Chains A and B, each alone.
Chain A
């Protein structure tokens, strides 16, 4: 449900009239500074994200423009150490593509993209285990990483940002998962069968 619909519903339920909120409008229209990433960077990130969450019979990462979102999250929500690791990761990924296939990642065939990420996925798994990276997740407020906490492998950053960005996107939340803005009530028991979509929130 859109906010506009929600407000209408609340107005109907409570008899209250709504007035547009100037604060909210100002925040939405405020100019945001650049992220320091180029259009090429965003395209590369979109390709990585699409390989992690591909379009199947439902939308994939590119449909949600995850590349652009990743640059925003990295520049606004990551700590400096994570930002540096993320940027190095983009470089390393391209270097690996050049070494193995003689081409930049963007120019690889789909099966080569997949095999490269498959290697990185395994490498990240081993790296995180060896370095005891455990509860790393997107730099959420409330969970400021300790200075001495080990950062994960860079591929883990790509993967986590892709998943977070995708499942909180409109296509991810509303088409791939089930999103209900106003459930109306809570049911403690509700049937589920394998394959049913999970709730988005």
Chain B
């Protein structure tokens, strides 16, 4: 079976899903498999698995500028997008065009909003690191009072983590750490020899900072269902941002979309920019979406019995804010007034690096799509540092220097060439991934008069770090420095920086869950308190940021919400 491409239609769908990234793909799979007639609405173009990965598998010499993007083009169309670590000439076609996607920021603040508007969304560009939230994370707000309590606990999510991990395919070791619950996993990637010794050094000198290998959504021992979908083992190319025809990492294209399509229930409406949701005051329900065509700007509507907003954290909130009615003059499902508030990102503003002496007869083969990971050691109030609340994880890796690193060395000529041709000294780098507190002042709102080319009011950002985040990064830099020093490494450097939020690309919050409808937009099933047939299952629903990469939790929340909605429909309650 194949998906059906839809443009104009009078049909009423069982469910409308806005957005086709990680969460939209999951929602589509669950509803299609439950027999629901599903419309997946995507603002960008179609991207077909394999066929539309034009840069895949090319050597650097096959690019006219060797994978460096052209400055003039980039400055005119992707000056914001290029700040993303994954942006270059091999991946730029999966990033948005800044000219079409304007937004404003409050004077004195800055926010980098990275966009990937095509079928599959950011599932084609994500860094694929997958960790579960723990009960420490989900109860942090309740324990220290910095934010409203999550309406769910680990036991609510655990079966759904199991469920999504089995399907997505996670490579991980079993570490038995309370602050980092284990995943259902395929074999982990190996550590290098210096990493193994560093792991032992940490175990001895920093017992609260155990090191694990990064868990990631890559297949290392594919299951039957994964093979059926055309997915095979990771080939260790580490060119994931170009798309992967092996389907070795989880993306909408490799995993959820083919699963949804083979049911025969999947319809896709590409190039459909959702302007707003249609709310029926009498029925007190959403009945459909208003769409502006991405290319010709014509308008159309799609009708559905249930709406799942999976348009990315800020995309979903923008749609809600722009969906006004008599009942909801300040944005749909916003009787609480908190819609747009409590915006968070992760704080990556501390790093450290060092040279590792020795290991000259050690090397590695292949390009590992993950690194080392040290979970948060400040995971409950009794473990907080006096200078800040909450904590940070550390990610990094050890590799041998290459010509790139050595090219700054003095010299030229044949000896120099010979030196650069060999593997250089071992080096290690680490970066902090800090929690950002939920604060009402960190907010997106609709600009009062600026609109984009589709006639949608632009988002206006007011988002800044607080002293808590700044102090945490100082501590993180110092701590990483000590860890490297204790291990006996050399030429250690460390720094805390102050880059503005956005570039962790972990934007979360702005339509948070909660038990109290006066303080939250969504209930514990990601269902709008105010509108029973409306669900928001992407990062907008988060009550706190935790420190782990959020995408695995997006998957679990979406699958859980979809099954809740399916059960409600089947039992006649929705």
Query: Which residues of A have CB within 8 Å of B87?
Result: 141-142
B residues with a Cβ closer than 8 A to A are 50-52, 54-62, 64-72, 74, 78, 82-85, 87-88, 189-193, 195, 230-237, 245-247, 360-368, 400, 402-404, 407-408, 410-414, 416-418, 420-424
Residues of B close to A7: CB separation below 8 A: 57, 245
B64 touches A32 (CB 8 A): yes
Residues B247 and A14 in contact, CB atoms below 8 Å apart: yes
- Looking at A36-44, A49-57, A87-95, the stretch in contact with chain B turns out to be A49-57
The CB with the most chain B CB atoms within 10 A, among A56, A60, A137, A174, is that of: A56
CA distance A34 to B64 in the complex (A): 13
Q: A10-B245, A186-B189 are in contact. Are A77 and B364 (CB under 8 A)?
A: no
A104 within 8 A of B: no
Alpha-carbon distance A64/B217, docked complex (angstroms): 38
With a cutoff of 8 Å between Cβ atoms, the chain B residues found around residue A18 in the complex are 50-51
Contact A27 to B403, CB < 8 A, known contacts A141-B69, A142-B83, A190-B363: no
- Contact: B71 with A182, CB < 8 Å? no
Report if A16-B60 is in contact (Cβ < 8 Å); known contacts: A56-B417, A121-B410, A141-B87. no
A79→B68 CA distance, assembly (Å): 13
Chain A residue with the shortest CB-CB distance to B63: A168
B364 CB → nearest A CB, Å: 5
A71 to B27, CA, bound (A): 49
Apart from A10-B246, A76-B71, A189-B193, 16 more pairs, CB < 8 Å: A13-B232, A14-B230, A14-B231, A27-B54, A121-B412, A137-B407, A142-B82, A142-B88, A160-B407, A163-B403, A164-B404, A164-B407, A168-B67, A173-B60, A174-B59, A188-B368
Question: Contact residue range for chain A?
Answer: 35 or more
A18 CA / B49 CA spacing, docked (Å) = 10
- Residues of B contacting A1 in the complex (Cβ-Cβ under 8 angstroms): 57
B235 to A183, Cβ gap below 8 A? yes
**Least distance between A201 CB and chain B CB atoms (Å):** 7
Q: What are 18 A-B contacts with C-beta separation under 8 Å?
A: A13-B232, A32-B64, A76-B64, A79-B71, A125-B410, A141-B78, A141-B87, A159-B407, A169-B61, A173-B59, A183-B367, A184-B236, A185-B366, A187-B364, A190-B363, A192-B360, A196-B363, A199-B402
For chain A residues 1-52, which have a beta carbon within 8 Å of chain B? 1, 3, 6-7, 10, 13-16, 18-19, 21, 23-24, 27, 32, 51-52
Contact A197 B422 (CB under 8 A): yes
Q: Which of B65, B69, B366, B400 contacts A186 (CB 8 A)?
A: B366
Chain A residues in 8 Å Cβ range of B400: 198
- A198 engages B423 (CB within 8 Å): yes
Contact A23 B52 (CB under 8 A): yes
Chain B residues whose C-beta falls within 8 Å of the C-beta of A52 in the assembled complex = 412-413, 416
Query: Contact: B66 with A168, CB < 8 Å?
Result: yes
Cβ-closest chain B residue relative to A144? B82
CB < 8 Å neighbour of A77 from B71, B85, B233, B423: B71
A168 to B63, CA, bound (A): 10
- The reply to whether B246 and A13 contact each other, CB–CB distance below 8 Å, is yes
A194 contacts which of B403, B404, B417, B422 (Cβ < 8 Å)? Answer: B422
How long is the Cα–Cα vector from A185 to B361 in the complex, in angstroms?
A: 20
A72–B71 Cα distance when bound, in Å, is: 12
A72 to B74, CA, bound (A): 16
In A92-123, the 8 Å CB interface with B consists of 114, 117-118, 121
Complex Cα distance A53/B190, Å? Answer: 35
- Contact between chains at B410 and A183 (CB < 8 Å): no
CA distance A14 to B393 in the complex (A): 37
Closest residue on chain A to residue B400 by CB atoms: A198
A164 vs B65: C-alpha distance when bound (angstroms): 10
- Cα–Cα, bound, A182→B423 (Å): 20
Question: Which chain A positions have C-beta within 8 A of B57?
Answer: 1, 3, 6-7, 181-182
Closest to A159 in B: B412
- How far, in angstroms, from A169 to B418 measured CA to CA in the complex? 17
